[in-house]
Amino acid sequence: MDWSDVILLIAIAIILLQYVRLSRKNKRLRLLADEANRLRHHADATEQRNRQLKQEMTSNIAHELKTPVSVIQGYLETLLGNHSVDPARQRHYLERCHAQTLRLGELIQDVSIINKIEESSKLFPLAPVDVQQTAQAAFDEMADKAAAADVRLVNFLPPLSINGNYELLYRIFRNLTENSIAYGGQHIQVVVETYTPADPLLPSGNLYLHFYDTGCGVPDEALSSLFDRFVRIDSGRSRQNGGTGLGLSIVKHAVQFHGGDIYVANRPEGGLDFHFSLKGQS
């Protein structure tokens, strides 16, 4: 083998090496392009899903507004068009109008909270919050309704604090309590306590809470949609009990805002069983 053959072999080796390098580079570029396409498709799908959710929410809000507005309009037209209505019936009509305005106010407030969490979560400031006292404040607010239905509210939480938002944490306990009182039935207990999860892979620094009632529960097939917006389950959980249909959706959003998850199941003994976590125990 003379020098010309050696030079030729070296040239071929260099060309092969460059080819391999270019092939690897092209492969990386293809992978990057595929990842960019995947991310773009994911972003497009997310944007489309968000548009659908907003459209659904707008449609649901319009539907929810229709009933109270129609009721108020009907009573006011009766009062304005019939001056012979006796005072007792006038008062009844005005009380009904007032009740519907309260319902409208609750709907507006609940929609506002969901929008703020989804689009402007920074508007909810964080500070040390005593979870036991927050739960007790919610129980205290609901005490009269609980007493009227012979519902016993039991707070087993120890003194503990997390870095969170008081308004949203309060909403978690208030909405869960209101849900149990309104739909769980009479002569029941509503209990909140901490628990230690059996799964050792779950973060040990989180706070794990157990909230349950001893009421009637819901059909098993309805559990998966219980946190959806404007969902009302039959079997006693109907519009007749009031509410905006957003209470448990707000609970889920508030738990996720605090870095946690929430799950619901029917208790074998009867009633609903909520397990949820909150991040940032301090």
User: pLDDT tens across 184-211, in order?
Assistant: 989 999 999 999 887 777 777 789 999 9
Q: Write down the residue that tokens 């909405």 correspond to.
A: 175
Q: Nearest CA to 281 among 207, 203, 196?
A: 207
Domains annotated for the chain, with CATH where assigned, are: 1-123 (1.10.287.130), 125-278 (3.30.565.10)
Cα 276 to the chain's mean position, in Å? 12
Beta bridge partners of 281: 162
pLDDT reported for residue 280: 60
Using CA atoms in the order 159, 130, 251, 189, what is the torsion angle rounded to 10 degrees? 40
pLDDT reported for residue 237: 43
Q: What is the pTM of this model?
A: 0.74
Token pair listed for 176? 């869960």
pLDDT reported for residue 282: 46
- Pairing between strand 189-194 and 152-155? parallel
Beta-carbon contacts of 256 under 8 Å, excluding residues fewer than 6 positions away, are 262
User: How far apart (Å, rounded) are the C-alpha atoms in residues 275 and 210?
Assistant: 5
String of DSSP letters for the chain: --HHHHHHHHHHHHHHHHHHHHHHHHHHHHHHHHHHHHHHHHHHHHHHHHHHHHHHHHHHHHHHHHHHHHHHHHHHHHHHH-TT--HHHHHHHHHHHHHHHHHHHHHHHHHHHHHHHHH-GGGS--EEEEHHHHHHHHHHHTHHHHHHTT-EEEE-PPS-EEEE-HHHHHHHHHHHHHHHHHHS-SS-EEEEEE---S-TTS-TTSEEEEEEE-S----GGGGGGTTSTT---STT-SGGG---S-HHHHHHHHHHHTT--EEEEE-TTSSEEEEEEES-B-
Q: Which amino acid is at 63?
A: H
pLDDT tens digits for range 96-113:
998 888 888 888 888 889
pLDDT reported for residue 281: 47
pLDDT reported for residue 24: 78
Residues of the chain with pLDDT under 50: 235-239, 281-282
pLDDT reported for residue 258: 95
